Amino acid sequence: MFNAMKALLVAVLGVLYSPLCFCELARKEILNHLLNSSRYDARIAPNYEEDRATNVTLQLYILSIDSINEIAMDLSMEVFLRQTWVDPRLKYEHLSNFSNLELDQRMMANVWVPDTYFPNEKEAHFHIVTVPNRLLHISRNGTVFYSIRLSLTLTCRMSLYNYPMDEQNCPIYIETYGYTVENVLFNWKSVNAVMVDDVEMPQFHFRKAPTITKCSRTFKYEATFTCLSTNLHLQRNIGYYMAQVFVPSILIVILSWVSFWIHVDAIPARISLGVLTVLTITTQSSGIRSSLPRVSYVKAIDVWNSVCLLFVFAALLEYAYINVQTRRHHKSASKDTLLTIQASNPLVKTIGLNPARRIDVRKTIGAREMDYMKMARAIDKVARFVFPMSFVIFNITFWIYYLFANNHE
């Protein structure tokens, strides 16, 4: 009885484990058969002999967008490029029931892959740590799935009219380098053609989902190449610029209005305040310009900085005007005082000048001084109202125009 049970157990274990051994050997045999150089040539496209184009389905998975550079007008990203096509030479459904075969890195060179490249690429590299980051799977019906991880720096021509309230559309072009449309055709995957991971960018966010299109390019020697494109719709986050540019500028402009409450005779205080605000706005504008390309059109930030500079400079000019008028009055008052002193001389009796006239002259001088001081204070009072109201009107116009009415897309 014991021997019978032992024999039965051995038989069961043999049945359970024998398929594993068979599968391991079968996979090796299938790969050796499929990739045998006598029947498969990786240099030739799948349907080349039949004079038919191979349809390649693409999917782009964006892992991260690392930087967007306005000066260089490019963006750097990390992606998975996934390509799928059918190679009839790699069918093995009549040989095995395996759903797919996963190829080792060293065997991938023996399989044909499309010569895909990015026309608007500035710089790119593969990832090879700890091994080359790519995979290739072959299905029973000859469908090949090829995925590779890439780091790309792509050209993105930016329109900075609305900067920093701008929206950018950055294209990604994918094309065959050598195969024409007679041999290879690209198509986007029908579902989730362009997928975006949980991407966080410091200065931008996605305004809407990427859009995809199909294109073709014809060169001078009349060869047409298949092409795909997708647009990344990005909108700049204005929070950083509110904290670093707009709010400080508003405070500096308001600070320049403090001089309207300082006495007219406090020359050092008013001059120092005016010059300080002008220099601060100028320095801030220079710092912003250094981080942007030299374009031939006026940007929104240029309008803002120019108007802020105009307001602080106008506040300085307002005091300059008052000061000039006051100095002219003092010169006139000095002449009248000299005339009064001369009238007090005993010789004035020879010309019949009444001594009481001296009092009238002094009263006239004092009244004239009071008139000029009232005029200076009146100008300051008008400036206290006109400057803030003008700046508020400018702000309303500026934000409505650049946030809502103006669209340069």
What is the per-residue pLDDT across 261-307, written as a single tens digit (0 to 9) for each?
Answer: 888 777 788 888 889 999 999 999 898 888 899 889 999 999 999 99
Q: Which residue has the higher pLDDT, 371 or 204?
A: 204
Query: Is the model's pLDDT at 80 over the cut of 60?
Result: yes
Q: What pTM was estimated for this model as a whole?
A: 0.78
CATH 1.10.287.130 fits 241-405, yes or no: no
pLDDT at residue 10 greater than cutoff 50 = no
Cα distances (angstroms) measured from residue 148 to each of 5, 51, 60, 179:
53, 28, 10, 20
- Rounded Cα gap, residues 136 and 103, in angstroms: 6
pLDDT of residue 19: 42
Say yes or no to pLDDT of 155 above 80.
yes
Q: What is the mean pLDDT of the chain?
A: 83
Please give the pLDDT value at position 97.
Answer: 77
Q: Which residue has the higher pLDDT, 348 or 328?
A: 328
Q: To the nearest whole percent, how much of the chain has pLDDT over 70? A: 81
Query: What is the tens place of the pLDDT at every residue in 162-188?
Result: 999 999 999 999 999 989 999 999 999
Q: Which two tokens stand for residue 284?
A: 């801030």
Residue 210: φ, ψ to 5°? -60, 140
Are the C-beta atoms of residues 230 and 172 closer than 8 Å to each other?
Answer: yes
Q: Residues near 323 by Cβ (< 8 Å), separated by ≥ 6?
A: 264, 267
Q: What is the mean pLDDT of residues 345-355?
A: 50
Q: Determine the distance from the C-alpha atom of residue 48 to the mean position of all C-alpha atoms in its chain, rounded to a whole number.
A: 44
Among the residues of 114-186, which ranges form H helices?
none
Confidence band for 407, pLDDT divided at 50, 70 and 90: low
The pLDDT of residue 338:
46
Tokens linked to 390: 């003008």
- B/e letters for 148-176, b = 16+ CB within 10 Å, e = fewer, are bbbbbbbbbebebbbbbbbbbbbbbbbbb
Q: What are the distances in angstroms from CA 292 to CA 74, 76, 121, 174, 398?
A: 13, 18, 22, 29, 21
**Residues 86 and 142 sit within 8 Å (Cβ to Cβ):** yes
Token duo for residue 357: 């006239």
Out of 187-196, 230-239, 342-351, 375-384, which region has the weakest mean confidence (pLDDT)? 342-351
Q: Looking at residue 197, what is its pLDDT?
A: 83
Question: What pLDDT score does 17 carry?
Answer: 42
Per-residue pLDDT tens over the stretch 183-238: 999 999 999 999 998 888 989 999 999 999 998 887 767 788 999 999 999 999 99
Q: How far apart are CA 62 and CA 118, in angstroms?
A: 15
Give the other-Cβ count within 10 Å of 139's Cβ: 18
Share of the chain above pLDDT 90, in %: 52
Distances (CA, A) of 262 to 114, 272, 315, 381, 405: 76, 12, 12, 11, 40
Residue 305, Cβ density class (10 Å: 0-12 exposed, 13-18 middle, ≥19 buried): buried
**Cα–Cα nearest to 68, from 148, 163, 175, 150:** 163
With CA atoms as reference, report the closest residue to 163 among 404, 402, 405. Answer: 402
Residue 35 has a pLDDT of 86
> DSSP class of residue 53?
P
Please say whether the dihedral angle defined by the alpha carbons of residues 30, 36, 42 and 48, taken in this order, is positive or negative.
Answer: negative
In which residue ranges of the chain is CATH 2.70.170.10 found? 34-237
Query: Is the pLDDT confidence value at 123 over 90?
Result: yes
- For residue 87, count CB atoms less than 10 angstroms from its CB and return exposed for 0-12, middle for 13-18, buried for 19 or more: buried
Find out whether 284 and 248 touch, Cβ atoms under 8 Å.
yes
- In the numeric block, which tokens belong to residue 352? 């019949």
The string of DSSP codes covering 359-377 is HHHHHHHHHHHHHHHHHHH
Q: What is the mean pLDDT of the segment spanning 27-31?
A: 81
Q: Which CATH architecture has domain 34-237?
A: Distorted Sandwich (2.70)
pLDDT of residue 173: 96
